[in-house]
Structure 1
Amino acid sequence: MYKIIVASHGPMAEGMKKSLEFVMGPAENVTALCLDEEGISKFSKEAKRLLDEQDTEEVLVMVDFLFGSPFNEFSKLAAGYAGKMEIITGVNLPALVEAVNCQEDGSSMETVIPQIKEAAVMKTLREILAEEESGDDDE
């Protein structure tokens, strides 16, 4: 089973984990890591510690911004990580819920990445209604 690390600028990662647990219950295989006012040095040390604890497992890191500090720090650590690691940018709650659902199903990280990315897509109400209408025509 892969582990999930949610990392963000500010408290967003902690808030996402709390929201996830509100919806799904305890999320023992999800860790939140926030870059706060204590700076990048503390964040980097904590990121390394989290990965050292996982050393041989699959780890899915979900970050807020592409090329933001959390992404950059985990990218640096990826080269030295002994297990499998993937980083997804643009984390949102639907993507996190999908990642946890797949995790609980026992799916491998590699196979669920497309599902997680699909769950992360933003849609408007009009788009959803249009998709439903076009689906009705096919029946």
Structure 2
Amino acid sequence: MPCQDAQLAAALMAVFQCHLLLWRVMRWARDGSFYSMIGLVLVTHGRLAEEFLYVVEHVVGPQENFETVCIGAEDDMEQRRRDIVDAVERADSGRGVIILTDMFGGTPSNLAISVMEAGRIEVIAGVNLPMLIKLSSVRISGDIKTALREAQDAGRKYINVASQVLTGK
């Protein structure tokens, strides 16, 4: 009987190890890696960043590795820069971070650019909702270069003058 118990225990352990390996492979197939995704940090004037995150989660569901930094006119800008650095650290799971700002040349954009590291921490200025919705999916399995391109394409694609679209002109 003890021999059968040992064989059963060994068989159960083998099944458990196979199950764990299968789970990791399935996660890799879904996410592009075992434990990571591209992080996102929204940095905007006022509370726009928080509102964008609220709407993105309403449209596509809860987001992980997604941080916001809101910048007010009276804020200490060096403190806000530190807040951006902290947000990048929280959002980064090893595949890089994209910081999105509302307007190139504005304070949020300038602060974000000051922490940029090409290929690891990138900045996109001119954030819009289609861009964020696209990033919510491509950041799971894509690389940062592809995510940047697809976000920029989505952002441009959905900027339209309604009368021109409706009349075909």
- Tell me which interval the TM-score lies in, with the shorter structure as reference length: 0.7 to 0.9
Correspondence for 1:13: 49
Provide the secondary structure at the position in 2 that maps to 1:33. strand
Correspondence for 1:32: 68
Correspondence for 2:149 among 114, 118, 127: 114
Provide the secondary structure at the position in 2 that maps to 1:67. coil
Cα distance in 1 for residues equivalent to 2:46 and 2:76: 10
Correspondence for 1:59 among 71, 75, 97: 97
5+ residue gaps, structure 2, are: 1-36
Correspondence for 1:88 among 124, 145, 159: 124
Percent identity among equivalent residues?
Answer: 23
Cα distance in 2 for residues equivalent to 1:52 and 1:32: 12
Distance 1:128 1:114, change over 3 A: farther
5+ residue gaps, structure 1, are: 132-139
Cα distance in 2 for residues equivalent to 1:57 and 1:118: 21
Cα distance in 1 for residues equivalent to 2:57 and 2:144: 21
Instruction: Give me the CA root mean square deviation.
Output: 2.1
Deviations 1:12-65 (A, max 9, x none): 000000010111111112111111243313211111222344385411011011
The answer to whether the Cα contact below 8 Å between 2:97 and 2:120 also exists between their aligned partners in 1 is yes
Letter in 2 for 1:125: A
Letter in 2 for 1:38: D
Provide the secondary structure at the position in 1 that maps to 2:114. helix
Cα distance in 2 for residues equivalent to 1:5 and 1:117: 16
The answer to whether the Cα contact below 8 Å between 2:43 and 2:68 also exists between their aligned partners in 1 is yes
Cα distance in 1 for residues equivalent to 2:67 and 2:43: 8
Provide the secondary structure at the position in 2 that maps to 1:120. helix
Cα distance in 1 for residues equivalent to 2:144 and 2:78: 29
Letter in 2 for 1:17: L
Structure with more of its chain in helix, by fraction: 2
Distance 1:18 1:46, change over 3 A: same
Letter in 2 for 1:13: A
Q: Report the TM-score, using the length of structure 1 for normalisation.
A: 0.81
Q: Report the TM-score, using the length of structure 2 for normalisation.
A: 0.67
